[in-house]
Chains A and B, each alone.
Chain A
Amino acid sequence: MASLDRCLNVWDLRDAAKRRLPKGVFEFVDRATEDHLAVANNRLAFERIKLRHRALVDVSGRSVATTLFGKPASLPLAIAPTGAAGLCWHEGEMELARAAAKAQIPLTLSTASMTPMEKIAAVGGRLWFQLYVWKRRDLSHQLIERAHRNGFEALIVTVDSPVSANREYNTHNGFGLPFNPTLRFTFDIMRHPAWTTGVLMKYFTSGQFPRHQNYPEEYQKSILSGVGSRDAMRADSLAWDDIAKFRDIWPGVLMLKGVNRPDDAIKALSYGVDGIVVSNHGGRNMDSAAATLDVLPEIAEAVGDRMTLILDSGVRRGSDIVKALALGAKAVLTGRATLYGTAVGGEAGALKAINILKNEADRTMAYTGCCTVDEVSSDIFWGYREGNRLVGV
């Protein structure tokens, strides 16, 4: 039995990924920032919401399918943009994209991905493109034009990363992107021969060491080539004017990722944004960040049906999806969960992670008496929710 077969939930996949990956790579995926308060709090927010069994509803015809921006998705889930899939598995982003296409859910390609968007586009499926805005805006504008030409249906502009995050463990692990040769990371790699053979050596022997394939030529560096231009990456001047510009030049679905406040959500509406991702970047940026599930209800209340709300940060079980839907989200994104799967089994592993979540969401809907995702509301909660708080029973 392959190790993938023994994985029955996302935590099992995480354990298997931990065994397989060098510590530097695993922690880059798994850990967050500073004291890990945000990442823990994201989980707590999900786990403390309690549901009630609904008795005697015929749920035999139930379905977790939904529509996102007018097009079908087999469950209210999409793949979050992440930068490290290509280090979890040889050409991991391709594997993840194939899994998403097979599962009929959207895949988001990150600006920092290691696969050119043209290659991902050839996989098909529903494709979204995530944008980190560079200091030189013209280069960002060229990039999204390229995404449009390649058939990406949506653009997600990340707005929660004005400064780089304080991820001390990467330095302690001797791990950085781009790679810097450090003795510590070399020892780390040497303790993981299967990964070295199956991932690293395959890149070496194909002569195609992963690069930031979607960066403009002048920024594009092999991740072996040392530190890229920090100044070029500087995004702390990003402002609403930029969104107006993106709205002008991007004809497709436009989303902002990293909105945490009702006033920002309303402002996004006024700029013609189609959707927002309520996200704290998986707890990876500001360690004091409130749990996204806690801020979701008041944002949902503020924007109503006027835009599509998506939630991420902390989803590890199908029940989490159901809770997010009940509080106003139309779907969730998963980052780590599907990366763990990719690390354990490439496409098959990623697909397994998706199916695990799907199966758990299906069970939760059955227990709570929901036949369709539209029936999922805070009525399934134990306790009385008002705004963003559980106020009593």
Chain B
Amino acid sequence: MSALDRCLNVYDLRAAAKRRLPKAVFEFVDRGSEDGIAVANNRNAFEGIKLRHRALVDVSGRSMATTLFGKPVSLPMAIAPTGAAGLCWHEGELELAKAAAKAKIPFTLATGAMTSMEKIAKEAGPGVGGRLWFQLYVWNKREMSYQLIERAHRAGFEALIVTVDTIVPPNREYNTHNGFLLPFTPNLTFTLDIMRHPVWFTNVLMKYFTTIGMPRNENYPDEYKRLNRNDPGSYELTRQDSLDWEDIRIFRDKWPGILMIKGINRPDDAVKAIEYGVDGIVVSNHGGRNMDSVVASVDVLPEIAEAVGERLTVILDSGVRRGSDIAKALALGAKAVLTGRATLYGTAVGGEAGAFKAINLIRNELDKTMAYTGCRSVDEVTTDIFFGGRQGNRLFDRVMDTV
């Protein structure tokens, strides 16, 4: 029985990924920022929602299938943009994208990916039934960002997701403690870490060295592919603290496909997004990786969903580890969720097969949750399955609603 076969949930995959990856890579994937408060709070918010069994509904014909932006998906989930899949597995982004295509859910490629968007499009794109979304960190030199999205459009990406919650680099102190800098900068701490993980060193790093050399940000303009955050030139490229709504207007003009904004946490911002012609928002706190004091995304979801109604597609991420989390997000107004870490853990343990396993574990858990709560389709998942009533963004017990 392989390590992957022994993994029966996302936490098992996490534990296996932890054994396999160098500490620095694992922590880059797994941890949040500063004191890890936001990450823990995202989980608490999901776990605090209690559901009720619904008795005696014939659920034998139930289905988790839904549509996102008018096209079918096999479950209400898509792969979140992440920068480290290529360090979890050799060409990990491609593995993850293939798993998503096979599972019939969309895959989001990050600006900071280590695989070129053309390669992803060729091997995991619409040609093989894949749906591809492209995530954009807007650069200070806007012209380069415009060129990048044009390239994404040509490559067949159906949606653009502009990340708006990362205006300054987050305070991820552990990366510095671990000697982990992207791209790699030689240091003794990280070297010793790598040496303790010879399997990873052989199967991931050496494979890059013997083929393409050091993994690079393949979607960056040529002069920045070997981006180094210590280099003042590249900081100038990547700084994003001037991003504002005017940029969204321009992206809306230039991007003919589906446009989403990722990192919306406020109803007023969500309503503004509608005014700018945005098609969808991702209610996200970046997996708790940016602002450590941030509120749980599942806690802010209901008031945002209420504010926008049916006018745009609301997607949630940050903290999804179990299929029941998806049911809870749907009940509170999301149309789907994104998973970042969950599928990265899977990728780290088994490449495409591991990512596929992560998706299927979550799928199976959602199916059980729907069966227990008597929901035959995702449209039937509402706060009626909750114990206690939700008012705004808070869970109140039934009686408190009337007191």
Interface residues of A (CB under 8 A from B): 34-35, 37, 41, 159-160, 162-163, 165-166, 168, 171-172, 234, 236-240, 242-243, 256, 258-261, 264, 267-268, 280, 285-291, 294-295, 298, 386-389, 391
Contacts and interface: CB of A to CB of B under 8 A. Distances in A.
Contacts of A290: 50-52, 387-388
Contacts of B398: 298, 387-389
A91 to B, nearest CB: 32
A163 B368 CA distance: 6
Contact of A34 (B9, B49, B371): B9
Interface string B1-37: 0000010110110000000000000000000000000
Interface stretch (B57-65, B149-157, B286-294): B57-65
B217 interface: no
Contacts of A259: 53, 55
B47 interface: yes
A163 B324 CA distance: 14
B372 interface: yes
Given A165-B368, A260-B53, A288 B328 contact: yes
B188 interface: no
A162 B50 contact: no
A237 B56 contact: no
B324 A288 contact: yes
B158 to A, nearest CB: 33
Contacts, number: 123
A329 B77 CA distance: 41
A264 B55 contact: yes
21 contacts: A35-B11, A35-B322, A160-B53, A160-B372, A163-B371, A236-B60, A236-B371, A239-B56, A239-B58, A240-B56, A258-B55, A259-B55, A260-B52, A285-B372, A286-B324, A289-B53, A294-B50, A387-B397, A387-B399, A388-B399, A389-B399
A166 B9 CA distance: 9
Contacts of A294: 50, 387
B52 A289 contact: yes
Contacts of A243: 56
A261 B54 contact: yes
Contacts of A287: 322, 324
Contact of A166 (B58, B365, B403): B365
B397 A264 contact: no
Contact of B403 (A168, A242, A280, A391): A391
B178 interface: no
Which of B55, B58, B367, B371 has the largest number of chain A CB atoms within 10 A? B55
Contacts of B55: 159-160, 256, 258-261, 264, 267-268
B308 to A, nearest CB: 26
A139 B368 CA distance: 25
B400 interface: yes
A261 B387 CA distance: 9
Q: Which 5 pairs show the lowest CB-CB distances between chains A and B?
A: A290-B387, A290-B50, A387-B399, A168-B8, A237-B60
Contacts of B373: 286
B294 to A, nearest CB: 23
B8 A171 contact: yes
Contacts of A285: 53, 372
Nearest to A285: B372
Nearest to B47: A37
Contact of B397 (A162, A168, A388): A388
Interface in B364-403: 364-365, 367-369, 371-373, 387-388, 397-400, 403
A239 B57 contact: yes
A237 B60 CA distance: 5
A286 B372 contact: yes
Nearest to A385: B399
A278 to B, nearest CB: 10
Interface in B61-110: 62
Given A35-B11, A294-B50, 7 more contacts: A162-B371, A163-B371, A236-B371, A267-B56, A285-B53, A290-B388, A387-B399
A243 B58 CA distance: 12
Contact of A289 (B51, B57, B59, B403): B51
Contacts of A35: 11, 47, 322
B56 A386 contact: no
A8 to B, nearest CB: 33
Contact of A172 (B6, B58, B369): B6
Nearest to A243: B56
Contacts of A291: 50
B56 A238 contact: yes
Contacts of B50: 41, 288-291, 294
Contacts of B56: 159, 238-240, 242-243, 256, 264, 267
A13 B107 CA distance: 51
Contact of A295 (B52, B371, B399): B52
Interface string B301-339: 000000000000000000000101000100000000000
A166 B360 CA distance: 13
A249 B368 CA distance: 31
B51 A286 contact: yes
Q: Which of A162, A264, A290 has the most CB of B within 10 A?
A: A162
B58 A237 contact: yes
B36 to A, nearest CB: 18
Nearest to B400: A389
A163 B365 CA distance: 11
A159 B58 CA distance: 11
A361 to B, nearest CB: 27
A55 to B, nearest CB: 30
B392 to A, nearest CB: 18
